[in-house]
């Protein structure tokens, strides 16, 4: 039987915010400089990984004559011009507002750096105040990125909750793996190009946050919790 869920943790890229097309555009441009083609056979190896691991996966897949540091340096200005344009994914605002109304504490656990988080949310400050904490991938308390469980274990400690009472929503296989290794429940919300079979460890797979099935889960908000009204703790 499902434990009582008292806290919900969200990934950000491709789940709350529609940023994946920005990464695709930047990767396509960089691949083309070297006469290579960036497609989903490459992207599926990268999605959800921290920046260094993602860059390494691309360099290896396309045999690019670059170090990870060189690749990230070339990619940075392309992404930073695009990130402030990020819009919410379908259903994201409505679902998080509903959890807020249920007095369920919410957190963000993203592989993005704090700098990139700030750029992506620059127009969404009011919405992101819903979240009690925001953990970014460059937090010093995170020794290993997804699929290691570090970021989710740290989120649970900061929220003051046992992992078995946390529900994670993720769009990447690496994120689902990290959530399960942390001892949490996990719902996958894959990109349309990703097959359900890549999310075998998810407790549930849905195709949009608009399809979240409340009937499948038992929610029990912690006593005394008040929804956040100020800037969330960034860890």
198 flagged as catalytic: no
Which one, of 152, 169, 175, lies nearest residue 98 by Cα? 169
Catalytic one of 13, 150, 191, 196 = 13
CB under 8 A, 24+ apart: contacts of 20-28: 20/47, 20/191, 22/79, 22/82, 22/83, 22/85, 22/86, 23/79, 25/78, 25/82, 26/75, 26/78, 26/79, 26/82, 27/58, 27/75
User: Do the Cβ atoms of 114 and 141 come closer than 8 Å?
Assistant: no
18 is catalytic: no
- What are all long-range contacts of 190-198, with beta carbons under 8 Å and residues at least 24 apart? 191/14, 191/20, 191/47, 193/40, 193/43, 193/44, 194/44, 194/47, 198/44, 198/173
169 C-beta neighbours (distance < 10 Å), count: 27
Q: What letter would DSSP give residue 219?
A: B
d(CA 40, CA 20): 12
* Residue 186 Ramachandran class (φ > 0 left, ψ -120 to 50 alpha, else beta): beta
Which of 11, 18, 39, 60 is catalytic? The answer is 11
Give me the active site residues, please.
Answer: 11, 13
């Amino acid at each position: 039987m499902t434990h009582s869920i008292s806290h919900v943790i969200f990934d950000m890229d491709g789940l709350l915010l529609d940023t994946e097309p920005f990464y695709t555009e930047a990767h396509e441009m960089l691949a083309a400089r070297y006469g290579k083609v960036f497609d989903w056979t490459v992207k599926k190896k990268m999605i959800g990984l921290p920046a260094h691991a993602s860059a390494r996966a691309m360099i290896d897949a396309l045999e690019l004559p670059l170090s990870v540091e060189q690749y990230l340096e070339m990619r940075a200005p392309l992404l930073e011009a695009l990130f402030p344009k990020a819009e919410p994914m379908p259903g994201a605002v409505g679902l998080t507002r509903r959890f807020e109304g249920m007095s369920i504490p919410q957190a963000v656990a993203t592989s993005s750096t704090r700098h990139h988080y700030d750029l992506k949310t620059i127009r969404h400050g009011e919405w992101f105040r819903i979240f009690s904490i925001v953990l970014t991938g460059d937090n010093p308390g995170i020794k290993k990125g997804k699929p290691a469980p570090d970021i989710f274990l740290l989120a649970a400690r900061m929220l003051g909750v046992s992992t078995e009472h946390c529900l994670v929503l993720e769009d990447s296989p690496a994120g689902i793996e990290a959530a399960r290794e942390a001892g949490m429940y996990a719902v996958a919300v894959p990109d349309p190009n990703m097959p359900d079979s890549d999310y075998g460890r998810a407790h549930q797979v849905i195709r949009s946050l608009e399809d979240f099935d409340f009937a499948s889960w038992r929610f029990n908000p912690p006593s005394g919790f008040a929804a956040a009204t100020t800037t969330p703790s960034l860890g």
